[in-house]
Amino acid sequence: MGMDRKIEKKKGIRPKHVIYTVTGIAVVALLVYLIKTAGTSTFRADKEKITISAVEAGSFKDYISIIGTVAPMTTIYLDVEEGGKVTEKVIEEGELVKKGDVIIRMVNNDLNLQILNTESQLAYQSNELRNTLIGMEQQKISNKQQLLNIDYELIRLKRNYEQNKELFDKGFISKENYLISKDNFELAQRDRELRYERMVQDSIFRENQKAQMNNSLRNMQQNLAMVRQRLEDLNVKAPADGQLGTLDIEIGQSISRGQRIGQLQIMDKFKVVAQVDEHYIDRVRRDLTATFERQDKQFDIDVMKVYPEVRDGRFQVDLQFTNEIPDNLRTGQTYHIRLELGQPVEAVLLPRGGFFQSTGGQWVFVLDENGKSATKRNIRIGRQNPLYYEVLEGLAPGEKVITSSYEMFGTNERIEMR
């Protein structure tokens, strides 16, 4: 019987050693994962249902997109100068008109009666003035006749006085007769002077009275002309060449004096009117440049007026063309305008997305290097344009961010991809 042989153990890595090693690594990885995710809520999302965007480094162009509407540079409002009842609408809305064209016709019976009364008063006053002027002329002739008689009497008395003086010097008449003829002549001289002075004063008074009456007559004639002009104003006319805009009247409608019935658009120059979100009210100012495209051609415009009033969260700006104007420009046409708010600068860029509505740009979900999960990270966003946000802090070029809406994620701080 032979002796038993001692069996030696084989050296080297056996299969069970591999199993033990892999198991140990998995346990360690699980422990690390559990430590990292301890206290962190996780949401498992379908990768195909979310949008992932890459953070870029590039030139940030500070602009906003707004919609502008073409409008005439000048609009004239049509306010009626005289009220009445509409009898005819001569021109319809949208038609081109020339200055002086009748737009609507009205009637006003009270105004017609007033014109008749004014004409009657004018005729009466004119007749009275003519009678007064005739009487003044007759008085003027009468004064001349009286002056002529006085001069004749003065000549006769002078001749009598001179004859009596010669007779008295020769002793043919008494002194009394001589003195009587002398007194009569001197009295006639003084009387003529007084009468002449009175006639001069009467003449001055009559001329002043005549001038006042003529002024009164002219005023009445002007008043009549104004009343007749009021009658003419019942025909509302175009104040300039242009296109008739809104015309808010109907046949038979009574229009009050001063009432606005429509507007006239002057078609020689145009502007672009746009509404801007109130968020930009402190940044939009005069002379900012803007552009829009039409038929593959770019046109330049700039801000000429900013309206301070905010309505429904928006404010109005007017823009004017700076160089070339598009052909066949029509009121009411709309264009997508790119309004430049500042010069381009180099920055970290994050594409726009629905996440901003949930986070306000204060944080985002950033993907890990393996791309299988994303964690919440605080960031700081500056300006924005229709394509990008300007990232001031928290992100670096090359990182990837979930930019779609975060509503489905709730309050979870970690996203697992599947």
Tens-digit pLDDT profile for residues 93-144? 889 899 999 999 999 988 888 888 888 888 888 888 788 888 888 888 888 8
Let me know whether 282 and 394 are in one domain. no
Let me know whether 141 and 218 are in one domain. yes
Let me know whether 359 and 326 are in one domain. no
The 10s digit of each residue's pLDDT in 140-161 is: 888 888 888 888 888 999 999 8
Q: Out of 295, 311, 340, pick the residue that ends a domain.
A: 340
Distances in Å between the alpha carbon of 293 and those of 71, 76, 272, 276, 370?
17, 30, 13, 19, 43
Let me know whether 116 and 223 are in one domain. yes
Q: Are 235 and 105 in contact (CB under 8 A)?
A: yes
Task: Tell me, yes or no, whether 283 lies in a domain.
Answer: yes
The 10s digit of each residue's pLDDT in 17-40 is: 556 676 777 666 555 555 455 456
Encoding tokens for residue 357?
């509505």
pLDDT at 415 over 60: yes
Query: pLDDT value at position 67?
Result: 95
List Cβ neighbours of 251 (8 Å cut-off, separation of 6 or more). Answer: 86, 87, 88, 89
Q: Average pLDDT, whole number, for the chain?
A: 86
Q: Out of 290, 321, 340, pick the residue that ends a domain.
A: 340
Q: Out of 232, 253, 286, pick the residue that ends a domain.
A: 232
Residue 325 dihedral angles phi and psi, to the nearest 5° = -110, 135
Task: Tell me, yes or no, whether 351 lies in a domain.
Answer: yes
If we measure between CA atoms, which residue out of 391, 332, 324, 334 comes closest to residue 363?
A: 391
Task: Tell me, yes or no, whether 237 lies in a domain.
Answer: no
* Domain count for the chain: 3
Let me know whether 326 and 274 are in one domain. yes
Let me know whether 332 and 358 are in one domain. no
pLDDT at 10 over 80: no
Let me know whether 121 and 205 are in one domain. yes
Residue 67 half-sphere exposure, CB side, CA atoms within 13 Å?
Answer: 4
Task: Give the range of the structural domain holding residue 385, as residue numbers without chain letter.
Answer: 40-62+345-417
Encoding tokens for residue 196?
């002449």
DSSP 49-91: GS-EEE-EEEEE--EEEEEEEEEEEEEEEEE-SS-EEEEEE-S
Let me know whether 120 and 227 are in one domain. yes
Report residue 221 CA to chain centroid gap. 40
pLDDT at 333 over 80: yes
Let me know whether 168 and 277 are in one domain. no
The 10s digit of each residue's pLDDT in 180-201 is: 989 998 998 898 888 888 888 8
pLDDT at 317 over 90: yes
Let me know whether 219 and 117 are in one domain. yes
If we measure between CA atoms, which residue out of 312, 397, 401, 387 comes closest to residue 359?
A: 401
- Provide the β-strand partners of residue 75: 265
Any idea how long the chain is? 418
Task: Tell me, yes or no, whether 32 lies in a domain.
Answer: no
pLDDT at 388 over 90: yes
Let me know whether 44 and 133 are in one domain. no
Let me know whether 182 and 273 are in one domain. no
